Structures are given as structure tokens and as C-alpha cells.
Amino acid sequence: MTLKLRTLPLVAALAAVVTVAPLSAQRGQMTAPRAAGQQSVSQQLSQQQMAAQQQMAQIDRTMQRLHQLEQQATTLAQTHAQRASQAAAGQNGAGLNGAGLNGAGLNGAGDQAMQQLCDSMANLAGDMTKTMDRIHQNLQDPALVQDKDMLKDMDRMRLHIEDMAGPLEDALNAMDRMQDRLHQPGSGK
């Protein structure tokens, strides 16, 4: 009987080890996926931040291009206004000899319409620049950067504006050519 009393604590200890060992192993297994999940989340955040930084660099390049287009449009509008005022001064000094605005192929209404077009193009370039600036600011907001869908939508918006920059540049170049034609002597004959 004494043997049984001595083995009873040993059996109880073995039973405890047998039941506790799987529990501690399960706990270890539970912490491993949790740690892997935390690593995965931090890696995703890091990747999203890198994507946001790349987008910001692309936005910076697009904004530089849009600033140049805005400056080109503003210069075009200013040049047109100067040419129109010079042509108007020439018409006033031309008297009845037929030179002046109509002799240069211009008229007051056409000149005014061209000026409005130049101003509108400058405003359009400015609005596109402001939109890109707003996207740039949004990419600096940590809450927005963590939202994958928001990043995708901001990237789509950036791409659309980049796509519009090319036609805007073409339109400004066409307006410049039109302006040159309008102000050539004898173009209305």
C-alpha cells in the first residue's frame, strides 16, 4: 500500500504534465499566428506607406507640369491682352485708312472671345493644379493612407488629371498658334 501512496503523487504529476503540456503548446501556437498576423499588418502598412510615397512623387512631377502649363496659359492671356491693346491703339491712330484691327484680321468681339478663352485655360490649369495639391495633402493624412480603396481612388484621380494635362498642353499650343495668326498683318484679307 505504501507503494501505491508513493506512486499516486507521481501519477498525478504525470497526469498534470500530460494535460498541461498540450495546453502550453497550444498557447505557443496561438501566439505564433498572432505574432505573424501583427507582422503581416505592419508589412501591409509599410507597403501602403511606400505606395503613398510613390504616389506623392508622381503627384509632385504632375504638379510641376501643371504649374508650367498654368504659367504658359497665364503668359498667353497676358500676351493676348497686350497685343489687343496695341492693336486697339493702332486702330485709333489709323483713322480712315482701313489699317488697324480689321486690317489685321481682328475685331473687338473676336479679340474679347480670345481673351476669355485664354483666361479660361489659365483657370483650368490652375484648378487642375489645386486638385493635385489636394490629393497630395490627402496622401499625407495617415488615416487616409491606411485605406487601400482610398489610395486606389486617389491614384485613379491622379492618373485622370495626368491624362488631361496632355490635351491641355495641346490646346494651349493651338491657342498660341491662333493668337499668332490673329495678330499677323493682313491675316483678315
List the chain pLDDT tens, one digit each, 189 residues: 454 545 555 555 544 544 444 444 455 555 555 555 566 777 777 777 787 788 888 888 988 999 999 999 999 889 888 887 887 777 665 443 334 444 444 566 777 888 888 889 989 999 999 999 998 888 888 888 778 888 888 889 989 999 999 999 999 999 989 888 877 766 554
CB 175 within 8 A of CB 118: yes
* Separation in Å, CA 30 to CA 16, 22, 24, 182: 21, 12, 10, 78
Cβ burial, residue 86 (10 Å; 0-12/13-18/19+): exposed
d(CA 61, CA 77): 25
- Report the number of secondary-structure helices (H) and strands (E) in the chain: 4, 0
Opening angle at CA 133, ends 127 and 138, nearest 5: 130
Q: Is the pTM of this model over 0.75?
A: no
d(CA 20, CA 15): 8
pLDDT at position 29 is 53
Q: Each residue of 25-78: pLDDT tens digit?
A: 455 555 555 555 566 777 777 777 787 788 888 888 988 999 999 999 999 889
Set of cell numbers at residue 119: 483666361
CB 77 within 8 A of CB 120: no
d(CA 157, CA 179): 32
d(CA 119, CA 136): 26
Residue with grid cell 510615397, as numbered in its chain: 53
